[in-house]
Amino acid sequence: MASLVLSSFCFPSQKSCSFTSSSLRFRIRAPTDSRFGGPLFVGFGSVKKRNGRIEASVDSTAHPLVFRDLDADDFRHPLDKQNTLLLRAIPGLNEIGRAILGTVTEQIMLLENIGTSILVSKDQLPELHKMMIEAAGILNIEPPDLYVRQSPVPNAYTLAISGKKPFVIIHTSLVELLTRKELQAVLAHELGHLKCDHGVWLTFANLLTLGSYHLPAQRLEEQLIRWLRAAELTCDRAALLVAQDPKVAISVLMKLTGGCPSMADQLNVDAFLEQAHSYEKASSSPIGWYIRNAQKRQLSHPLPVLRAREIDEWSRSREYRSLLERATQMSM
């Protein structure tokens, strides 16, 4: 089967819109490193109790946690699992995907992206290269190639073509908008698609959002888009696993919703989460529920405020804490 992943991280697009082809240790938040614009990883060297208070010595050289035996189902969102089972039960869906995503389509996408982007390596944009290698190591996955493409639209997407090394493309405007830790969270989101083997269904669903193809059965088309929204929630968890700070992953969504480089220092993650709770409250009435469902049916990605809430809730879950307890610190 053709295995081509085309995933867009950034925006919940509608079918009528244009679409750019296409996250137990102790840690505290450290002061911002001016070189990277984000917090350093800091760990507790020792912890002891004195006069009823917990005191800890800080080890500023602590490294990110690595999930050596991580499996995709360890962080897959329940809605992703549910909708994947529903898609697998549809007879002939993979055959339709193979027919649409043939060799010619793959080659067009491959050459179009390689020919208009810069390949990142240890000698070309080495800081981005290091971020990708580190994120892949944390998620226990082989690192794909990484390309940077000039574009005013902040976006990132992934291509995985049969028999070829997968690659991720990020836009220059995304690099300008985000801190280094936030940018690595985006890379981790894209790695989540590869880790979870979202494959041909992801590209198929994205073609539907582009309006490039229409299925004769509207119900099947709606099911694919519903699965795509669920898959994005899974990959947001991959972003958190790499960032290891929910505020970093949520800040990405906040900036993509209404951020700009000149006012980034005025953005407040806690206020954005409060906005998410306000949305939940406003949409809890019968009319609000109807409007909310009508709104999200046309979207390829969940609403940013809902994605932020999902990340925040999962970061507090026993499931996430259990993964952290299994992890080991990355050796540098």
Active site amino acids:
190
- DSSP lists the bridge partners of residue 56 as 47
Both tokens of 228, joined, read 């795509």
Whose tokens are 């009319």? That residue is: 287
What span, in angstroms and rounded, lies between the C-alpha atoms of 312 and 270? 10
> What is the crossing angle of helices 218-243 and 180-195, to 10°?
130
What span, in angstroms and rounded, lies between the C-alpha atoms of 100 and 84? 20
Cα 257–chain centre separation: 15
Are the C-beta atoms of residues 151 and 254 closer than 8 Å to each other?
no
- Nearest in space to 193 (alpha carbons), one of 318, 28, 8: 8
How many beta carbons lie within 10 A of that of residue 36, not counting itself? 15
**Number of residues that this document lists for the chain:** 332
Structure-derived torsion over alpha carbons of residues 252, 256, 257, 261, reported in degrees to the nearest 10: 100
- DSSP lists the bridge partners of residue 55 as 48
What span, in angstroms and rounded, lies between the C-alpha atoms of 155 and 26? 33
What span, in angstroms and rounded, lies between the C-alpha atoms of 241 and 182? 12
